[in-house]
Amino acid sequence: MGRILDNWRVLACGVVAVMGLSAGLPAAWAETVTDLAGRKVDIPASVHRIILGEGRLVYALAPLEKQHLFDRIVGWQGEFRGADTQSYDQYVATFPQAARVALIGKTTADTVSPERVLDLHPDLAILTVSGHGPGAASELVAQLESAHVPVVFVDFRADPLHDTVASMQILGRVLHREQEAADYLSFYQSHLKYVTDRVASLPEAQRPRVFIEMLAAMRESCCHTAGKGNMGAFITAAGGQNIAAPLLPGYIGDIDLEKVISADPDIYIADGTKGPKASGPGLRMGAEVTPEVARASLRRVTDRPGISSLRAVTTGHDYGIWHSFYDSPYNILAVEVMAKWFHPDLFADLDPDATQKELYDRFLPVRQEGTFWINAHP
C-alpha cells in the first residue's frame, strides 16, 4: 500500500510540474550567451517560436535551418518584402508558409508593435544592433524581457567581416545549430583568408582608390556611401582604398558629389536591389534580374552628370553589385568580386561564380536565380 501511495505522490508531483509550466513559469534554460550588444542572455533548451526584428535576417538563418527555415519563424518586420521584393518572392516560391509569417512592423523600428509581438507568444527574439529594427533600448525589448522572452542581438552591418563570424556563432548556439554554424564559418573564413592573405603585402600605391555609391541614383542628391565599415570594409579587405573612409564619421553616410569628383576614383561601384519590373531610377540587381537588364541600368546610373565624367567610368572601371550584401553573411561573395575587379591579375584564379555555387549547393535551401554583380563593359 505504501508503494502505491508513493507512486501516486510521484505522479501528482509530475502533474503539478506540468501545470506549473503551462501556467507561464520560465522555461528550462540551456545556456547563457553574450550577444553583440554585450548582453548576457539565458537561452531556452528548446526554441519553437522565433521573432525576427528584421525580415532579412532570414539570410543568416538559412544556412543554419536549411529546409526547416520557416518551421519556427512566427513574426518578422516587413522590410524584406519591401526592400528586396524579388528575393522575397523566390523564398515564398520555395517556402509558401513565408507568406503567412506575421508582420510585426513595416520598415522602421518605430512601426514595430510590442503588443503584436507578444500576441505571437515567441520564446526567442532575434534583433540587430544596427539597421531597421528595434534597438537594445527600445520598448519592445523591455516588454519582451518583462515577459521572460529572451532577446538576442546580432549584426551584419556595421563591422561585417568581424561580426558575421560572431553573429553566426551566436545564432548557432541559440538555435541549437552549432554544427551548421561551424560548417558555414569554415567555408566563410577560408574564402575570406584566401583574399586577405594575398592582398596583405600590397603597398598602398598598388591599391586602387574606390568609391561605392549605395542605392545609386535613388536619392535626389549624390552620394550615399560607406565609410570605415559596411561595404567600405569589403573594399579594404579586397585590396582597395575606400575614398569615403576619411570623410565619414560613421560606417554609412552621405558625401557631396563634388568631393567624389575631386577624388576622381580609379574604380566606381554602384549598388542596388531593384527588380526588372521596378519603376524609377536605380540599379536593377539581384534575383530575377538578367545581366542585360543589370548592365543597361548600370549605364543609366553612370550617365548622370558628375558620375559620367569620373575617370573610373570613362576608362571602363565601373561596376554594379547587389545592395543586400551590405547586411548579409553572404558578404564573402562581395569581397571576392571586388578583389577580382581591383586586382584581376593577382586573382586570375579566383572564381566568385564557383563560390556562389558552393554557397547554394552546400548551405542554402533557396537557389536565387539572378544577377548579383556586373561589369558595365563586358
Q: What is the pLDDT of residue 28?
A: 65
Q: Write the pLDDT tens digit of every residue in 100-143.
A: 999 998 766 677 888 899 999 999 999 999 876 676 767 888 89
* Nearest alpha carbon to residue 213 among 281, 288, 277, 159: 281
* β-strands 151-154, 124-128 pairing: parallel
Per-residue exposure over 91-122, b if at least 16 CB sit within 10 Å of its own CB, e if not: bbeebeebeebeebbebebeebebeebbeeeb
Q: What is the pLDDT of residue 82?
A: 84
Distances (CA, A) of 303 to 245, 310, 329, 354: 25, 10, 32, 32
Q: What's the one-letter identity of residue 172? A: G
Task: Please check the confidence at residue 18 and state whether its pLDDT lies above 70.
Answer: no
Cα 76 to Cα 289: distance, rounded to the nearest angstrom: 26
Enumerate long-range contacts of 26-33, CB under 8 Å, 24 or more apart.
Answer: 26/148, 27/123, 30/176, 31/173, 33/152, 33/170, 33/173, 33/174
CATH 3.40.50.1980 fits 29-176, yes or no: yes
Q: How far apart are the first and last CA of the chain?
A: 89
Cell 575614398 belongs to 243
Helices (H), the chain: 2-22, 58-65, 79-83, 85-94, 114-119, 139-146, 160-174, 178-199, 231-237, 257-263, 291-302, 311-314, 331-342, 352-363
Identical fold, 29-176 and 203-375? yes
Confidence of residue 219 (pLDDT cuts 50, 70, 90): confident
Give the integer Cα–Cα distance in Å for 196 and 30.
Answer: 37
pLDDT of residue 133: 64
d(CA 246, CA 120): 45
Domain range list for the chain: 29-176, 203-375
Q: Whole-model pTM above 0.95?
A: no
Residue range 79-98: mean pLDDT, rounded: 93
Residue carrying C-alpha cell 586586382: 343
pLDDT of 373 > 60? The answer is yes
Q: Alpha carbon 374 to chain centroid distance?
A: 20
For residues 90 and 365, give the distance between their C-alpha atoms in angstroms, rounded to a whole number: 11
Q: Mean pLDDT score of the chain, rounded to an integer?
A: 90
Quote the cell numbers at residue 82. Answer: 519591401
Average pLDDT over residues 278-295: 96
State how far the alpha carbon of 42 is from the alpha carbons of 26, 34, 123, 348, in Å. Answer: 11, 9, 11, 47
**Residue reference for cell 577560408:** 190
CATH 3.40.50.1980 fits 203-375, yes or no: yes
Q: Look at residue 78 in the predicted model and tell me its pLDDT.
A: 87
pLDDT of residue 369: 92
